Amino acid sequence: MSERTDKIQYIKGVGEKRAALFARLGVETVDDLIHYYPRAYKDWSDVKSIAQTEPGEIACVKATCIREVQQFTSSKTGIKVFSTRVSDNESLMDITIFNNPFSAGKLQFGEDYYFFGKVEGNLTERKMVNPEIQSSSADAAIQPIYPLTGGLSSKVIGKVMQNALQALEPVEEPFPPGLLEAYDLIGEWEALNQIHFPQNRETLEQAKRRLIFDELLYLQLGLLSMKAHTAVSHSPKIQEDCSLEFAARLPYTLTGAQQRVIAEAVADLQAEAPMSRLVQGDVGSGKTAVAMSLMYSVAKSGMQSAMMAPTEILAEQHYETIRQYFEKAGFSVVLLIGSMTAAAKRKAKEKIASGEAAVVIGTHALIQGNVTFADLALVIADEQHRFGVKQRSALAKKGENVNMLVMSATPIPRTLALFLYGELDISVLDEMPAGRKQAQTFVVNSTYRHRLNNFLKSEIDNGRQVYIVCPLVEEGENELLSATAYAEELKSSEFANYRIAVLHGKMKGSEKERIMRRFKAGEIDLLVATTVIEVGIDVPNATVMVIENAERFGLSQLHQLRGRIGRGEHQSYCILVSDNDSKKSVQRLAIMKHSADGFKIADEDLKLRGPGDFFGERQHGLVNLKIANLLTDMETLRETGDAARTILAADPLLQAQKYAGLKQGVEAFFREQRTDVN
């Protein structure tokens, strides 16, 4: 018998070479394998009559071959084409097979077969092209389809899966007594067998429900444990709320939303337990002012604050903004970034260690081992989605049970935010400061290129600057424009006399910083970039953003990009270029044109794209869910939240023997996320 920890190469049908292929899929042990779930299923058991099928659907039809297979060779392509006609005694369907004599050879006049494939045709005619074919005597089962890599087919994975499950001892049920009955769940061992080899649709749905419940329960238990761990700690507390005193120093009036969020965070800073709060707000909603207000109260209490930004140039921007308010109040502000000279770093670290620095602004340089704080009370992570749990945890460990504030300019639907940041309290800045000009947004296709270019030249000639965003860095995929190729094209076009630069994620950090500094200084007229500018800096003089192949981006990502403009006194313009005229694409871009509300856009994005695509390819610390789906499984998410709270209320550390399986499940789940649970 196999153990779940055994290497996969020892399973019958694998071996060393095939094990290397499985490793590409992240499957190295028997346990990895049995939790490698199908991405879809071919349901040969759901047989329809020809008349019941709809053009465009994938269906399984049982029918009799009523014509001998005919063969001819295409004069244009040289491809062999096979055709026949089948009947289910009520309706007819044409079958066409390209260049596959083996498949065509299965068909014999007068015999019955199952045909599985995409149905084509109209109201009166049906046909299938290159269907899969099985004899009518074959087992009409539900067949799993797995995510694949070169050299592995779903058939091979299915056979290996069968061998593994047969050689494995039935797994011990990890759920405590009563939990299965309370939520009408089947056992884990049955679920694992049925998810790979379902007897029917009902057992498949039962298996999915159980394994989705597993995943979400382990997640909820882990997140709630984090929150409980924080709640029993004693944090550095501020002596008094100085937010009104700080607000009086600002040249503008705080919005009602800013005042509300500051009050929520101040209450945290005065409580016994450390603050763990997420402040999320649209681009330009005033998160920095909230952060400064809290740091001011901390400084007035004689303690230190640290703010970590994802890029040096953003850290420098925060430093310049914060310093002008704090130094006038008598508090020292220190910057610590990687590109500083050794002498400047040493001086900054001395001020931090001695406590002279009331506020420290920096990048990842802050979490280095040789950076020590005298009395760190508050840690702020800006642009939270750029940092993993470990990074913000490393900064928090520079002090004793410090208060943690994480800020995100990515508007996230509240249900998703509760899921992603379950260990944090959530504050939302849902009001924009008065006087901020919204960017006018237009959707155009390539036929507008001449007019668009003239407009860009007009803006630059009037002293403004322009961003052009492309979805790719290098040549390759379809006809999508790459940043590097686009920039070269512009330099040899009607823009030849303008100052053009390119910026993309494959550049070294120092080079990216140099380009952005030049752009901010006005030394570049037109910056061709990828989404690396999404978390950027304020360039008030940049008034136009052109986004090529806009249909390729998520709505939230487009909104983030649009937030790079409209930061100065001049009217700004966001121009979305797309030649994709599909209904879905037109619908999505129309949302961008008509809405400037990041939270509304985020909700629409989640509905249209689904949670797997919500964040694009960026690293957001989003948990890796193998089978659960945030849109379709929200009710199960609520159920597992209730179950987790009930369990932790009875045993906060899951120490009882009956919770041993749950504890192992939570640890394994978070180990896969490569994040800290404690």
What CATH number was assigned to the domain covering residues 46-140?
A: 2.40.50.140
CB 543 within 8 A of CB 570: yes
Sign of CA dihedral 480, 485, 491, 493: negative
Gap between the Cα atoms of 572 and 565, Å rounded? 6
Amino acid found at 593: K
**What local confidence, expressed as pLDDT, does residue 618 receive?**
36
How many other C-beta atoms can be found within 10 angstroms of the C-beta atom of residue 102? 7
Gap between the Cα atoms of 453 and 266, Å rounded? 50
What CATH number was assigned to the domain covering residues 243-429?
A: 3.40.50.300
Domains 243-429 and 440-595 equal at CATH topology level: yes
3-state secondary structure 428-497: EECCCCCCCCCCEEEEECHHHHHHHHHHHHHHHHCCCEEEEECCECCCCCCCCCEHHHHHHHHHCCCCCC
**Residue 425 belongs to what H/E stretch?**
strand 425-429
**What local confidence, expressed as pLDDT, does residue 227 receive?**
65
| Residue 575 bridge partners (DSSP) | 442, 546
Q: How many residues does the structure list for the chain?
A: 678
**What local confidence, expressed as pLDDT, does residue 86 receive?**
97
Q: If you write DSSP's letter for every residue of 599-668 in order, what string do you get?
A: HHHHHHHHHHH-TTTTTTTS-------SS--TTTTHHHHHHHHHHHHHHHHH-TT--SGGGHHHHHHHHH
- What percent of the chain lies above the pLDDT cut of 90? 56
Higher per-residue pLDDT: 260 or 389? 260
Q: Which of 321, 292, 261, 319 is nearest to 380 (CA)?
A: 292
What's the Cα-to-Cα distance from 511 to each of 189, 247, 504, rounded to whole Å?
53, 38, 10
Average pLDDT of the chain, as a whole number: 87
pLDDT digits (tens, 9 = 90+) for 611-623: 444 443 333 444 6
Q: Which of 482, 480, 479, 523 is nearest to 501 (CA)?
A: 523
Gap between the Cα atoms of 171 and 189, Å rounded? 6
**What local confidence, expressed as pLDDT, does residue 615 receive?**
42
- 118, exposed or middle or buried, with CB in 10 Å at 0-12, 13-18, 19+? middle
Residue 357 has pLDDT above 70, yes or no: yes
Residue 632 has pLDDT above 80, yes or no: no
Residue 2 is given by DSSP the state B
What's the Cα-to-Cα distance from 382 to each of 278, 310, 514, 516, rounded to whole Å?
10, 7, 21, 19
State whether residue 543 is helix, strand or coil: strand
What contacts 24+ positions apart, CB below 8 Å, involve 327-331?
328/249, 329/249, 329/296, 329/299, 331/296, 331/299, 331/358, 331/359
Domain chopping of the chain, boundaries: 46-140, 184-232+633-678, 243-429, 440-595
Cβ contacts of residue 57 below 8 Å, gap of 6+?
118, 119
Residue 362 has pLDDT above 70, yes or no: yes
Q: Using a cut of 0.85, tell me whether the model's pTM lies above it.
A: no
How many other C-beta atoms can be found within 10 angstroms of the C-beta atom of residue 309? 27
Gap between the Cα atoms of 256 and 247, Å rounded? 12
pLDDT digits (tens, 9 = 90+) for 515-535: 988 999 999 999 999 877 755
Residue 350 has pLDDT above 60, yes or no: yes
Residue 174 has pLDDT above 50, yes or no: yes
pLDDT digits (tens, 9 = 90+) for 70-127: 999 988 888 999 999 999 999 999 999 999 999 999 999 999 999 999 999 988 899 9
What CATH number was assigned to the domain covering residues 440-595?
A: 3.40.50.300
Q: Is 104 left (phi over 0), alpha (psi -120 to 50) or beta?
A: alpha
pLDDT digits (tens, 9 = 90+) for 560-574: 889 888 878 889 999
